[in-house]
Amino acid sequence: MFDQQPGLGEEALNKVAELGLASQLDDVENLDVDIKTDAFKLIQGEVDSVTIDGNGLVMQGDLRVEELDMYMSSVAINPLSVALGKIELTKPTEASVRAVLTEADINRAFNSDYVRQQLQQQQIHVQSQPVTVDAQQVNFRLPGEGKVALNASVMLRETGQIHQVAFSAVPRVSASGQTVTLENVEYGNNEELSPELTQALIEETSEILNLSNFDLEGMTLKINNLQIEAGKIILQAEAHVEQIPSG
């Protein structure tokens, strides 16, 4: 029974890593770090594995992640750094990552102050006349079948009129694994509004889904797979880890 309990060295490492990761986030509902090693290996700077499990992690741009799981093995650390309350890697390592975003998470990001500012004062042409539009409300949906869908209310500043913009599309991961683009875009009844506005919304959708939003200090992610289900998006990725954030 006692063999299953983490050693004092592991407990200290877990706490340091948890505090460091939490310092990179705006909010955390739950965050657990499980580092496997033993006293002899730790003195030599060897760690068997690091497992990170998080729920309700809020990152930059008010982007919330429902679930984040990360696993890395054969990690080399500077044993002296632990005494200073840090985990310093002596060489980079690779990690596998799984992240789940819900429909509510992405709607939260779209309607955050950060993104709303990006969708204000868009200059477009309506019937050959230049106008300025502001996005009032964005409703992002994950209807299933590998698609995303978006409805937005926009106001023409010059007239105060409210118009609706809608489209659905299929997200695709770029060859580099760093960005997401929207393909097979199907437009709703966008009335006489210029496609420039719809394009701005498409670009903002791609930006929210880009993995650069999920990068933490010392970690760079590359998407392997993007799975769209009804109500949620599941990302499978690899992480190049140069440092584990320290508080």
- Identify the band that residue 123 occupies on the pLDDT scale cut at 50, 70 and 90: confident
Report the candidate in 9, 72, 1, 98 with the shortest Cα–Cα distance to residue 45.
9
Q: What is the pLDDT of residue 113?
A: 81
Helix (H, G, I), strand (E, B) or coil at 115: helix
Cβ 200 vs Cβ 207: under 8 Å? no
Beta bridge partners of 153: 137, 164
Radius of gyration (Cα) for the chain, nearest Å?
22
Q: What does the pLDDT read at residue 212? A: 67
Phi, psi of 4 (to 5 degrees): -85, -15
Query: How many beta carbons lie within 10 A of that of residue 32, not counting itself?
Result: 12
Phi, psi of 179 (to 5 degrees): -130, 160
pLDDT of residue 211: 64
pLDDT of residue 1: 33
pLDDT for 4 beyond 50: no
Q: CA 9, CA 188: separation in Å to the nearest integer?
A: 58
Range 48-52 average pLDDT = 94
- The domain spans of the chain are 2-101+217-241, 107-209
Give the pLDDT confidence score for residue 13 in this predicted structure.
Answer: 85
Q: What's residue 246's pLDDT?
A: 65
pLDDT one-digit tens code per residue, 65-117: 999 999 999 899 998 887 777 889 999 999 999 999 999 999 988 888 877 77
Q: How does pLDDT run across 137-173, given as a tens digit for each residue?
A: 889 999 999 999 998 888 888 888 888 888 899 999 9
Whether the pTM exceeds 0.75: the reply is: yes
pLDDT of residue 2: 34
